Chains A and B, each alone.
Chain A
Amino acid sequence: MSDCIECGGSIRLPENPMVGEVLACASCGIELEVSGISPLMLQLAPEIDEDWGE
């Protein structure tokens, strides 16, 4: 578990987090990107652009 940098809520971490992986905060819904592994660091995920997706 880690703390949401936006609301302080608990973030459930995947088994093997990867830099660039996006996690959603169950408390506030914000998306956070893993920016470091050792130690684990989270930052706000980049905004989704209009042409993003499939």
Chain B
Amino acid sequence: MNPRIGITFSRIRLEDKMILEEFDRRGIVYDRIDDGDVTWSLQDRQPRWDVLLDRSLGFGRSRATARILEGRGVLCVNSARTVEICGDKLAAQVALEGAGVATPATTIAYGREAALRAAEELGYPVVLKPTVGSWGRLIARLNDRDAAEAVLEDREVLGNWTHHVYYLQKLIDKPGRDIRLFVIGGEAVCAVYRVSEHWITNTARGGRTENCPVDDRLAEIGRKAAACCGAEVLAVDLVEDREGVLYVLEMNHSMEFRNSVAPTGVNIPGLIIDHLLRLAQERKA
């Protein structure tokens, strides 16, 4: 019997469409779940699906859906635990450091003066990031104390409580690019360089992609990163400094890959579906 598969969406991004088209090409039946329209009764114990592929755009929605459906016995890709870790940069970095994966020097502070002291100790330039945030929004490069004072005051006055956990990270002097590593089923399957003249190289901010060969170092980082957060499908963002040392910046539980299939030649949506089917079969066995 074929596994019952559900897929959640907030809107259909290009990569979501690639996944759906791959399902259709293989003739695999699935249920599309519009997360803006769905309601979940907490008294409902019917699992309805064997596996759920979460493609929701919202951290809050993904976490809630996974918690609810895991409570019904549905295998969620990714799990609520994975979403919780990856959706919070601080939690992700604690998990990575615990797994022995190098991350940039980072200090957390709660008060403005303490944050300024932390920035001085890290050494400018530093980067101030919201612990929960995406697509590079509200990430500020602080080149000196004047910039730090201005941005911290803004966050203190205008931000919500999540912005008052000041997450300050030493800016890595990278060679105009960072790396996105794709990990499926615990194994690194491909990687791209994201190249940009801007210090933020996110392709959502205009960076372009080139194939990055997966060497032993990247493969090991991929394995450790997936293991430390329990991810089945994961994108790991890294930077290399001028000496070639690799640091993981963040992990993404609902990854975007629209610009990565062509340069790598790897059918990422196909590999996601292969793994989903494998998990469903294992669960049924």
Q: Hey, which bits of chain A sit against chain B, CB under 8 A?
A: 16, 18-22, 33-34, 45-46, 48-54
> Contacting chain A: which of B7-15, B69-77, B140-148, B183-191?
B7-15
Q: How far is the CA of A29 from the CA of B109 in the complex (A)?
A: 39
Most buried by B among A16, A22, A33, A52: A52
- Asked if B107 is an interface residue, CB under 8 A from chain A, the answer is no
**Which of chain A's residues has its CB closest to B56's CB?**
A52
Contact A20–B255 (Cβ < 8 Å):
no
Contact B17–A52 (Cβ < 8 Å):
no
Question: Number of B residues contacting the other chain (C-beta, 8 Å)?
Answer: 29
Which residue of B11, B21, B58, B255 contacts A22 across the interface (Cβ within 8 Å)?
B11
Residues on B with C-beta less than 8 A from A48 are 57
**Which of chain B's residues has its CB closest to A52's CB?**
B57
Contact A46–B256 (Cβ < 8 Å):
no
Which residue of B36, B60, B252 contacts A51 across the interface (Cβ within 8 Å)?
B60
Contact A52–B134 (Cβ < 8 Å):
yes
Q: A18-B17, A20-B11 are in contact. Are A54 and B58 (CB under 8 A)?
A: no
- Asked if B99 is an interface residue, CB under 8 A from chain A, the answer is no
- Asked if B59 is an interface residue, CB under 8 A from chain A, the answer is yes
What are 13 A-B contacts defined by CB distance under 8 Å?
A: A18-B12, A18-B17, A45-B11, A46-B36, A48-B57, A50-B133, A51-B58, A51-B59, A51-B60, A51-B132, A53-B204, A54-B135, A54-B254
Contact B11–A46 (Cβ < 8 Å):
yes
Q: How far is the CA of A34 from the CA of B11 in the complex (A)?
A: 10
Q: How far is the CA of A51 from the CA of B279 in the complex (A)?
A: 28
- Given A21-B11, A51-B60, 11 further pairs, Cβ under 8 A: A18-B20, A20-B32, A20-B34, A33-B11, A46-B10, A46-B11, A48-B57, A51-B134, A53-B135, A54-B134, A54-B254
Shortest beta-carbon distance from A8 to chain B in Å: 23
Closest 4 CB pairs of A and B: A53-B134, A53-B135, A20-B12, A51-B59
Q: How far is the CA of A49 from the CA of B134 in the complex (A)?
A: 10
